Structure 1
Amino acid sequence: MRVYPVLISKNIMRWIKQLELEILWPFYTSQIIQSVFKLTTIYWVVYFLSIGHSLAQISLLPIIMLLTSFVLELPTGFLADIRGRKWSVATAIFLEAFAITLIPFVGLQFKLLVVLYVLMGVGAALASGASEAWVVDLLHWHAKPEAIPSYYAALHSLINIGFIIAPLLASAIFFLTGALHYLWWAEGAMLFGAGLILLMFGKEKRMEHSQHKLTIASLYQKTMLQFRERPALLFVIVVMFLFAIIFGVTTLAWQPFLQTNGVPLVWFGVLFAFTGVFAIVYPLIHKLILTQIGDRRSLQLISIIQMIAFGLLIITPIVGVIILFFIIQNLDSIKIPIFQPWFQKHVLSVVRSISGSIIAMVGAIGESVGYVFAGQLVERFGFSAVWWFAVGLCALIVVVLMFARRINCNTPLCSSMVLK
């Protein structure tokens, strides 16, 4: 009878060893701080509505941030590969902390809000690609590439632990103060601390760069060659784009939708706190999922379940809405841990940041499209139109992933890239 506890204990200890805490503790620590104090996530739409901005105006803010990030993705990706990933990531966090702290001071002036969201877009561009490339190359330098999947699984587990604590903490602050602007100040201060940890304690070891002098032209050539020789990456890009649209739609629509259905603001913390529960245990089962089901089938299964859940939102009363909200959000929380290890495994180290930036650009476009559609659909046709739109996107993802398996490959390198 004691066999199962012993096996579970051994698996947990093996998993902890794979985390490589001696090398990666600054990254885990910084991430948990950023996640735990992501206080504005569940209230940002409601906050801007409360100070007089329309939903259409609010939808423009993340679009502006994403478009800024999109325009700067390639230049900042090249900069990170040449100048250094550590510098790029730390600067990104400090920019975001500065902008978030100032939002309550300028919130009534929409033009100044736009400026701050542009700054956050610059930060997002600096961090995307570089943050992942920094850690992946560090593990390769230490000859521990097998730890990369465990790192991504653990990282997103920490993110979701933070996403459980952050909404509860945000709701508590709102309950005690009766004001939402304190959330922005607290988040900005803690972001600054998270950036300091990476700047002071994060180590940077880079691969291949000592063998030749890097130039923008050589990086561009290697990046384009990589995508030409590995066509299965194109399917990842398409699926990432569609997932990003869904993320944009739900990010903008959830808060006013729940509020319209009678959910009090002080409950938001509890509701959002449990949207990442499954992702917390995901690191313990991620190898089983990927070996038994595979990337493609896992993503197809997630999309099918979400498609059904979005459809049921249209006809379900409030209790059912809350249950469906939990299902959709929990499934959302494990998409990236499935995507990223597969993507990083097949990306050249020397162009890892710029390759990540290309994926981030695609995500920025998709998320922007989602915000635009969500804002317009809600104001013109109501929330039902938003959920029907999401149903269609999920169905399209399932179809794209079916074709991903049928890609024609003429080389072993290409064949290794096909989603399983």
Structure 2
Amino acid sequence: MLFKKGELKELWPFYLYYLIFGLSSLIMPFMIIYFRDLNFSFLQIAIIISGFSIGQFLFEVPTGAFADGLSRKVSVIIGFLMNAFAILLFPLFDSPYALFALWTFSGIGMSFISGAEEAWVVDNLHKAKKKELQQEYFIKAASIAAFGAIFAPLLGALFVKSHPIKWLWLIFGAGFLINAIILSVFAKELYKPKRVSFLKSLKETFKNGAKGIKFTFSHKVILLLVLGGAFAIFMEFASDGWQPLLVNLSMPKYGLGIMFSVVAAVSMVVPFLSRLLLRFKIKNVIAITILLNMILLFSLIFLSPPMFMVAAIIFVFNNGIWYLNNPLLQSYLHKFIPTKIRATVISTKSMFNKLVIILGSLAAGVLMDYFGPQKVIAFGGFFGIFAIWCYLKIKD
């Protein structure tokens, strides 16, 4: 049976929003190509997209504390509406300054979602005495989004054959708007923080934020998970170069859509395989998969045109490993976080990751303009050594 008893009753609005997110993401396979077609350098693209991470970094902890102190549901809906507004404006501008501002606004909106969405679902399940569905949620949410994303790239590939890429932003923005409506109308919030006045809630926000940050960096297991995740992100610091790399290796632009569809199909199935790995120590599973990822990335250095198919296979496996590890790490992390500061701790972790992404993407932009994407993507695998060390230091 695909869904367990009571699972859809508690989680169907969240599963639906992941499906819509996947279906609306037609722009994803072509986003970097879109910016390259606007004659932006890799560094310019990195600066523009870094606005998203900067917005998240600056607002992750305050918005996470807002969710913990006021409402996770309200926080998530605000985030979806902000993203819808920003993304719907993307095709109207080709100025790097305007695009940077929109990406930053979108990042601020995402900071309202990132910690609050996970905390909302997890605490709903705890309140409903359905803790056993937590692992199911992390597995199936990613798979459902991937199921939608199987079709989106194919539709995007058909679209870009005869239409400008920029109009795909409108479909993506509409997806956020629809999800805001679905969650506001149909999703319940079973765990609700105590209502307080504005001044008191503002004080509580900073208090919760300080608690969350202190807890994150004083709890050894969580700190190692955060650091390990950060180094794993650094392995992909040149990910913006994948689309140009594949085109440089002779892949036609519409082929990007087909490849992303394959990635989505693999990503839909792989999270379910994580169930089979629960019998092993999580840290060992993650370390082995990161080592495999390192080998795949290093092998890119030996490719030349027209070997785009080999690079595409590496790209698919690279993404599949992330989808395998993510539900394992998410569920493992939540075991150590108290309910009252859950959203704040997750937001602190996300904030730290965003700082890594900002620094990494800017460095990658400079390096890719000088060395090209192929070498920079390949040698990013070296950061996996530090990620493996962090995970193996965890004492279960």
- TM-score (normalised: structure 2): 0.92
- 1:289 aligned partner: 277
User: Does the alignment pair 1:311 with 2:298?
Assistant: yes
- 2:119 aligned partner: 133
- 1:409 aligned partner: none
Structure 1 contact 277–330 (Cα < 8 Å) conserved: no
How big is the shift at 1:384? 4.0
Q: Deviations over 1:288-317 (max 9, x none)?
A: 2121x2211111121111111111111034
CA distance in 1, matches of 2:289, 2:392: 14
CA distance in 2, matches of 1:344, 1:334: 17
CA distance in 1, matches of 2:101, 2:91: 13
Structure 1 contact 209–350 (Cα < 8 Å) conserved: no
Structure 2 contact 222–336 (Cα < 8 Å) conserved: no
More off after superposition, 54-63 vs 199-208: 199-208
User: Does the alignment pair 1:350 with 2:340?
Assistant: yes
- 2:142 aligned partner: 156
Q: Deviations over 1:69-116 (max 9, x none)?
A: 10111111111112211111111111111111111111x222111221
User: Does the alignment pair 1:393 with 2:383?
Assistant: yes
Query: Per the alignment, do residues 224 and 324 of structure 1 end up closer, same or farther by CA in structure 2, a change over 3 Å counting?
Result: closer
Query: Per the alignment, do residues 384 and 185 of structure 1 end up closer, same or farther by CA in structure 2, a change over 3 Å counting?
Result: closer
- 1:173 aligned partner: 159
Report % sequence identity. 26
- 2:232 aligned partner: 243
Structure 2 contact 270–320 (Cα < 8 Å) conserved: no
Task: Please identify runs of 4+ aligned residues in structure 1 that moved more than 6 A.
Answer: none
- 1:193 aligned partner: 178
User: Does the alignment pair 1:78 with 2:50?
Assistant: no
CA distance in 1, matches of 2:17, 2:368: 37
How big is the shift at 1:222? 4.2
The secondary structure found in structure 1 opposite 2:299 is helix
User: Does the alignment pair 1:402 with 2:387?
Assistant: no
How big is the shift at 1:224? 5.0
Letter in 1 for 2:103: Y
Letter in 2 for 1:325: F
CA distance in 1, matches of 2:216, 2:349: 12
CA distance in 2, matches of 1:165, 1:217: 43
- Root-mean-square deviation (CA, aligned residues, Å) is 2.1
Correspondences of 1:297-376 after superposition (within 5 Å) = 297-317=284-304, 318=307, 319-376=309-366
CA distance in 2, matches of 1:56, 1:33: 32
CA distance in 1, matches of 2:375, 2:136: 39
The secondary structure found in structure 2 opposite 1:187 is helix
CA distance in 1, matches of 2:259, 2:367: 24
Letter in 2 for 1:125: S
How big is the shift at 1:33? 0.2
CA distance in 2, matches of 1:331, 1:401: 16
Q: Deviations over 1:266-297 (max 9, x none)?
A: 11111111114343223543322121x22111
Query: Per the alignment, do residues 125 and 208 of structure 1 end up closer, same or farther by CA in structure 2, a change over 3 Å counting?
Result: closer
Give unmatched runs, 5+ long, in structure 1: 1-12, 406-417
CA distance in 2, matches of 1:180, 1:19: 42
Query: Per the alignment, do residues 288 and 26 of structure 1 end up closer, same or farther by CA in structure 2, a change over 3 Å counting?
Result: same
CA distance in 1, matches of 2:322, 2:210: 34
- 1:271 aligned partner: 259
Structure 2 contact 41–369 (Cα < 8 Å) conserved: no
More off after superposition, 222-231 vs 138-147: 222-231
User: Does the alignment pair 1:233 with 2:222?
Assistant: yes
**Equivalent of 1:254, from 234, 238, 242?**
242
- 1:27 aligned partner: 14
Structure 1 contact 80–130 (Cα < 8 Å) conserved: yes
CA distance in 2, matches of 1:226, 1:152: 23
Give unmatched runs, 5+ long, in structure 2: none
How many residues of Structure 1 are paired with residues of Structure 2 in the alignment?
388
The secondary structure found in structure 1 opposite 2:28 is coil
CA distance in 2, matches of 1:169, 1:322: 19
